[in-house]
A = this chain, B = another copy of it.
Amino acid sequence: MAAWKNLDTLEAWKKIAADEKRVNIKEALTGEAGAERMKSYKVPMAAGMTYYYGAKAVDDELLEKLCALAKEAELTEKYKELYEGAVINTGEKRLVLHQLTRGQLGADVIADGVNKREFYVRQQERIAEFAKKVHAGEITNAAGEKFTTVVQIGIGGSDLGPRALYMALENWAKSNHTLKMNARFISNVDPDDALQVLSEIDVAHSIFVLVSKSGTTLETLTNESFVKDAIEKAGLNPSDHMIAVTSETSPLAKNSGYLAAFFMDDYIGGRYSSTSAVGGAVLSLAFGPEIFARILNGAAEADALSKNENPMENAAMLDALIGVYERNILDMRSTAVLPYSQALSRFPAHLQQLDMESNGKSVNRFGEPVSYQTGPVIFGEPGTNGQHSFYQLLHQGTTIVPLQFVGFVENQFDQDVVIEGSTSQKKLAANVAAQIVAFACGKDDENRNKYFEGGRPSSIIIGRKLTPEALGALLAHFENKVMFQGFLWNLNSFDQEGVQLGKLLAKRVLAHNTDGALKVLSDLFEI
């Protein structure tokens, strides 16, 4: 059994904290030594990608200390406990099994009398079978016509991850002529969200995926009723157009109101559920189950690489260690995720949930307040768009923000144009390369307004092309990074008690059971 200790009680951490030396990124990246460093400071990742950290504020000495920290914190042992079914989610007393949806990393996990890997695989098979029947026209609308659109109804983890993954592969699938169905997403309880999607789709040829683990998520059930209304107004029967993704014990399971129900369970948290039935149903319908399987393969490969106990060969672990160093030693409170790929435009929103909901905590896994900083604020937009927006602050603001770039050698469509001697894809790549050096090395200028201090740390993940495997690998990389950071901070990264109070108070408002300031606000909105 690994020992779960607060970060500031670890000897390796005390050594890091006591060391006042700081790496000067600008100097480190200059000249031939800088070129050598950029080449060699890297870790291979899954799906042929590579994590480059030459522009981070680390050197061999510090890396050695971080490796000692990883060892003393028993990151590898804790990961093993997790994937072999220990009760890692202490608050809710649950196992944490999302990796099992894509592979098996250790001993069988038997819970509630069930082999969980077999359970998740069985759901994938059921989804694949269903999706194939829809694509083949064996499952159709009442008029016997094929479904052309799939609409996911879910919020939070049932929305952001699957949506980001769909958007990431939509162009790739179009370009390969493998897009089976268009996907749309309804999430917000704002009625205008559902009404907009419904105004833009052909309801008669749409299949709706209702995603709610408990079967009681108010936002999702509310949106379901908009959808049912729309289906009925089109003279159709909702039960011919809806499937459910839920837990086996929910009111949505074995319910004649749905064409089919596919299952996840309590051991897969919402923000970690993209590779479960939550993402599996919509992505298998949109792209075909074989494409979804390729996403899983990329993630499985990344999960396996995360087992390596040497951080210098484990990109997720090294990324996590450097992040904790930036957060707790360099006092950097936010991190920007900057994919140079329009297809990843909503990937930062998914990572924002994944990271901030997992590690935005002030108590350790035993419920004791910690005396150090935990998870950072995560934000980001795709490049080059961000360059024309908030990069000003990143370059010359008074707050230093560590940067996580992602870039690819090739674009997804097999088409491009040459302007001024280069393709758009080369321009895109040239920009991300330039940004890394600009942030790290800065520029002297007598005009202080045109002066760039440099010293702003970044890493970059480089892949050949954003394929299903690469996407799965990226997803798992960040999940595992966040997990390792949670281990370092000694947090329970798998609950989310911080969202409960708002829910509770909202219910009181709707029941008119309020007073004081809440009553005033409630009156202002005429509730």
B156, B199, B462: the one within 8 Å of A525 (CB):
B462
B356, B425, B449: the one within 8 Å of A91 (CB):
B449
Complex CA distance for A401 and B377, rounded to whole angstroms = 9
Contact A497 B396 (CB under 8 A): yes
A190 touching B426 in the complex, CB below 8 Å, given contacts A222-B417, A389-B357, A521-B38: no
B417, B435, B520: the one within 8 Å of A229 (CB):
B417
State how many angstroms separate the Cβ of A256 from the closest Cβ of chain B. Answer: 20
Contact A502 B381 (CB under 8 A): no
Let me know if A385 is at the binding interface, CB within 8 A.
Answer: yes
Contacts A222-B424, A377-B390 given; 20 further ones with Cβ under 8 A? A30-B516, A171-B199, A188-B385, A191-B425, A219-B384, A219-B427, A222-B417, A271-B389, A356-B390, A356-B393, A359-B393, A361-B392, A363-B448, A363-B449, A377-B379, A393-B498, A430-B527, A431-B506, A449-B495, A460-B521
B55, B384, B505: the one within 8 Å of A434 (CB):
B505
Let me know if A517 is at the binding interface, CB within 8 A.
Answer: yes
Name the B residues within 8 Å of A159 (CB-CB).
385, 388
Name the B residues within 8 Å of A160 (CB-CB).
385, 389
What sequence of 0s and 1s flags, for each residue 192-205 of chain A, a beta carbon within 8 Å of any chain B beta carbon? 11111001000000
State how many angstroms separate the Cβ of A470 from the closest Cβ of chain B. Answer: 14
Contact A343 B500 (CB under 8 A): no
State how many angstroms separate the Cβ of A62 from the closest Cβ of chain B. Answer: 19
Let me know if A24 is at the binding interface, CB within 8 A.
Answer: no
Q: How many copies of this chain are found per oligomer?
A: 2
Name the B residues within 8 Å of A241 (CB-CB).
none
Let me know if A10 is at the binding interface, CB within 8 A.
Answer: no
Let me know if A323 is at the binding interface, CB within 8 A.
Answer: no
Contact B384 A188 (CB under 8 A): yes
B270, B378, B430, B524: the one within 8 Å of A390 (CB):
B378
Let me know if A111 is at the binding interface, CB within 8 A.
Answer: no
Contact B379 A527 (CB under 8 A): no
A193 touching B342 in the complex, CB below 8 Å, given contacts A31-B516, A155-B384, A368-B448: yes
Q: Range of interface residues on chain A?
A: 35 or more
Q: Across the two chains, which residue of chain B brings its CB closest to A511?
A: B421
B218, B342, B434: the one within 8 Å of A518 (CB):
B434
Q: Across the two chains, which residue of chain B brings its CB closest to A431?
A: B506
Name the B residues within 8 Å of A226 (CB-CB).
417, 424
CB contact list, A481-513 vs B, under 8 A: 492, 495-510
Q: Across the two chains, which residue of chain B brings its CB closest to A155?
A: B388
Contact A397 B430 (CB under 8 A): no
Name the B residues within 8 Å of A430 (CB-CB).
506-507, 509-510, 522, 525, 527
Let me know if A133 is at the binding interface, CB within 8 A.
Answer: no
A517 touching B34 in the complex, CB below 8 Å, given contacts A389-B357, A419-B218, A453-B362: yes
Q: Across the two chains, which residue of chain B brings its CB closest to A223?
A: B424
